[in-house]
């Protein structure tokens, strides 16, 4: 039922997002939504920034179409396997257990999206406009840097490279993954891992924002998502490493840009500062 269609996936994502906002801000999620909309209406800078972020996300949806027109590209997947050996195979086989598959699939599909959306809602509820802007800058930087790699540096998912001997455990709980979710992500768009970079970026922002409750939740979520990319047999260790570097670079630049676009704001308000 959970993975029956993108509609049910979106519904569960919305539910987790509301739960995250309530936990991270200690406020009614609809208050956070009002604060976010108010920021869009009253700040031309943020409106433009938000629209640019949406545009970049839409651009990513066209990446697979652009990639189809590229020919004679070198497949670097064998090189990654030669460097790493059987790391992913040994990792996933060591931990393989149906309940773990259920949990990691939920975090990989649902929580990643909720983590991103909730971050903006929580900072809006905290009246921490600098970090609302920083989330948008972070997403833009992540995708702008990652997309050229996906176009010109193809790396196939580990499970799809037969010599790696890796299984795709996602099919155990989400049999329709290839028809429902796969169109959103190319099978050779592995380096850097955006699941790593986006989740770790949100965790870094949460820690730096001063909101300790949200930081704890975001760090735990990012840790499970990074675990999931190996457990599911999707990403190489090098993909994850690239994602970590991208997350650090993106958040560092994003916070600097956000501080410039919101120069008169007070320091971050650490709502829920005690665990």
Between 61 and 256, the higher pLDDT residue: 256
pLDDT score recorded for residue 12: 96
Q: What percentage of the chain exceeds 90 in pLDDT?
A: 83
Stretch 245-259: mean pLDDT: 98
The predicted model scores a pTM of 0.93
Stretch 41-51: mean pLDDT: 94
- pLDDT per residue as tens digits for the range 150-183: 999 999 999 999 999 999 999 999 999 999 988 7
| Residue 195 predicted with pLDDT over 90 | yes
The residues, any chain, with a CB within 8 Å of residue 86's CB and separated by 6 or more, are 164, 165
| Residue 265 predicted with pLDDT over 70 | no
pLDDT score recorded for residue 72: 83
Nearest CA-CA partner of 76 in 167, 191, 183, 160: 191
pLDDT score recorded for residue 267: 41
Averaged pLDDT score across all residues of the chain: 92
Stretch 210-232: mean pLDDT: 98
pLDDT band of 61, cuts 50, 70, 90: confident
The burial class, CB within 10 Å (0-12 / 13-18 / 19+), for 91 is middle
pLDDT score recorded for residue 263: 66
**What is the domain partition of the chain in residue ranges?**
6-65+79-261
C-alpha radius of gyration, the chain, whole number: 19
pLDDT score recorded for residue 273: 39
Q: Please state which of the ranges 58-62, 147-151, 192-196 shows the lowest mean pLDDT.
A: 58-62
The residues, any chain, with a CB within 8 Å of residue 52's CB and separated by 6 or more, are 136, 140
pLDDT band of 208, cuts 50, 70, 90: very high
| Residue 248 predicted with pLDDT over 60 | yes
| Residue 270 predicted with pLDDT over 50 | no
Stretch 134-153: mean pLDDT: 96
8 Å CB contact between 196 and 247: yes
Element of type H or E holding 244: helix 237-261
| Residue 271 predicted with pLDDT over 70 | no
């Amino acid at each position: 039922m959970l993975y029956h269609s993108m509609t049910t996936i979106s519904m569960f994502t919305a539910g987790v997002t509301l739960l995250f906002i309530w936990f991270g801000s200690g406020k009614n999620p609809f208050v956070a939504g009002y604060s976010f909309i108010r920021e869009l209406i009253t700040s031309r800078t943020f409106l433009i920034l938000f629209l640019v972020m949406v545009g970049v996300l839409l651009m990513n949806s066209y990446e697979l179409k652009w990639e189809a027109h590229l020919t004679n590209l070198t497949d670097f997947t064998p090189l990654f396997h030669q460097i790493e050996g059987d790391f992913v195979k040994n990792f996933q086989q060591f931990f393989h257990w149906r309940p773990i598959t259920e949990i990691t699939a939920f975090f990989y599909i649902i929580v990643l999206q909720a983590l991103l959306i909730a971050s903006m809602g929580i900072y809006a509820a905290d009246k921490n406009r600098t970090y609302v802007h920083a989330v948008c800058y972070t997403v833009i930087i992540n995708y702008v840097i990652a997309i050229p790699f996906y176009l010109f540096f193809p790396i196939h998912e580990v499970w799809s490279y037969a010599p790696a001997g890796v299984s795709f455990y996602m099919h155990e709980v989400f049999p329709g993954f290839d028809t429902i979710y796969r169109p959103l992500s190319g099978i050779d768009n592995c380096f850097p891992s955006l699941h790593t970079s986006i989740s770790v970026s949100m965790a870094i922002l949460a820690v730096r924002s001063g909101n300790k409750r949200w930081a704890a939740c975001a760090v735990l979520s990012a840790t499970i998502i990074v675990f999931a990319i190996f457990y599911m047999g999707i990403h190489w260790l090098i993909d994850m490493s690239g994602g970590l570097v991208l997350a650090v670079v993106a958040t560092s630049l994003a916070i600097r840009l956000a501080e410039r676009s919101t120069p008169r704001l007070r320091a971050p308000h650490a709502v829920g500062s005690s665990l």
